[in-house]
Amino acid sequence: MNFRLILNIAVHLLRARLKQTVVAAVGVTFGIAMFITLVSFMNGMNDLLDGLMLNRTPHVRLYNEIKPSEEQPISLSEKYKNNTNFISSIKPKDRGKAIYNSQVIIKNLKADSRVIDVAPKITEPVFFNSGTIEISGVINGVDVAAEENLFQLSDYIVEGKISDLKQNNSIIIGKGLADKMLLIPGDIIKITSAKGNLASLKIVGISQVGIADIDDKTSYTSLNTAQKLMGESTNYVTDIQVKLFDITTAPALAKEFKTKFDLDTIDYQTTNSQFETGSTIRSIISYAVGIVLLIVAGFGIYNILNMMIFEKMDSIAILKATGFSGSDVKWIFISLSLIIGITGGVFGLFFGYIFSSIIDALPFNTASLPTVKTYPINYNPIFYVIGISFALLTTAVAGLFPALKASKVDPVEIIRGK
């Protein structure tokens, strides 16, 4: 088959109906542009929210949960071994929240090739005292360098510097807390631990993560300061936070670490399951809208080709009479459709990119996301590949039926009709 000739005929037929061709192509352009814009924006949004969580949530967290012993004394007894034992009023055993042997575990995890880095942490409930009032909250003792490396803590420090935490007895408090207690950096805050230890810490910064629940309660200090406040040794750690190279392996690794270190573990996916659902729904919506627009564009192409075939019956008849086969004629009309699809699609990608860039430049200021200045856009090339594939697929399908119809035109019927 001579594709150059077939393409040449297709182009000539299109040129004769330039206006309709342009309208059909614009339909495709519109569909693809909207699809690209929507998907890029929705995915940008997903990334932003994912990042919000990912940046703050360890992929795997190791800790000690307060819970009753799984092995109650009676199960050790030979005598009642075959009985079903009912035990009431079990109390959890106080093993303390401290992770035993934390240094060894951290060393071990750091050596693991699947792990990016490890950050130890102390989380303790405390009371913040201001005059006569007491506000309950949480103090996070963090390894400043590791925490910054894994969770970009400095993104959420709106006043002061994270490195100031390295000074002895310094603290960074949440914005909500600071507002309530009318504190500013440089002030001294009094803190009472759950065990009754008292300490005065100097405020060196204010943090804001954008979630009121966190900003009203949370404060950060160094591991050392937290250990001193608790009256514990320098081995005292309540959480070990792990970041992995491949987040999808988190549930499996959480299980592995649980048995290996005999600790409780929780993975990112479990912590954020409801969050995933939101992301998925946003993706589905953007794909659905894109596909619907393209189907509409497809009907446009279908109509135009049908019209063209109706008008060009004579031409089809003479092409067949002079030696073009049914399949040649079919390919002429499929090429017509694909030309519309490709030009419309390429322009669609172009405009999709332009629209995305415009959205990307629009200011988007929200108190909850201090580091975000403009609307988020994800420029993943795969969206463009999907977009052009969609365009080709819909136009090919839309063109196929008219093309088959054209290939079946009986030249005798047309010529006899004159």
Partner 1 sequence: MSNKVLETKGLSKYFYDPIKFQVLKEISMSVNHGEFVSIVGKSGCGKSTLLYLLSTMDTEYEGELFIHEELITGKSDKELAVIRNEKIGFVFQFHYLLSEYNVLKNVMLPGMKLGKLSDAEIEHNAMEHLKTLDMEDQALKMPNQLSGGQKQRVAIARALINNPLIIMGDEPTGNLDKKNSDMVFDIFNQLTKEHNQTLLIVTHDHDFANRTNRIVTMEDGKII
The contact set with partner 1 (CB under 8 A) reads 2, 5, 12-13, 15-16, 314-315, 317-328, 411-412, 415-416, 418
| Residue with Cβ nearer partner 1 (245 or 310) | 310
| Residue with Cβ nearer partner 1 (179 or 311) | 311
Least distance (Å) between residue 11 CB and partner 1: 9
Q: How far is Cα of residue 336 from the mean position of the Cα atoms in its chain? A: 40
| Residue with Cβ nearer partner 1 (321 or 358) | 321
| Residue with Cβ nearer partner 1 (126 or 409) | 409
Pairing of strands 218-222, 133-142: parallel
Element housing 60 (H / E): strand 60-63
DSSP label at residue 247: G
Least distance (Å) between residue 408 CB and partner 1: 10
Tokens of 139: 């103090």
Residue pair 326/320 in contact by the 8 Å Cβ criterion: yes
Least distance (Å) between residue 362 CB and partner 1: 46
Least distance (Å) between residue 297 CB and partner 1: 25
Contacts 24+ apart (CB under 8 A), 362-369: 366/210, 367/208, 367/210, 368/210, 368/211, 369/48, 369/52, 369/210
Pairing of strands 264-267, 170-174: unpaired
Least distance (Å) between residue 369 CB and partner 1: 58
Least distance (Å) between residue 325 CB and partner 1: 4
| Residue with Cβ nearer partner 1 (230 or 308) | 308
Residue keyed to tokens 């060009």: 312
Sequence-distant (≥ 6) Cβ neighbours of residue 113 within 8 angstroms: none
| Residue with Cβ nearer partner 1 (8 or 75) | 8
Q: Rounded to an integer, what distance in angstroms lies between the CA atom of residue 179 and that of residue 176?
A: 5
Q: Rounded to an integer, what distance in angstroms lies between the CA atom of residue 334 and that of residue 309?
A: 12
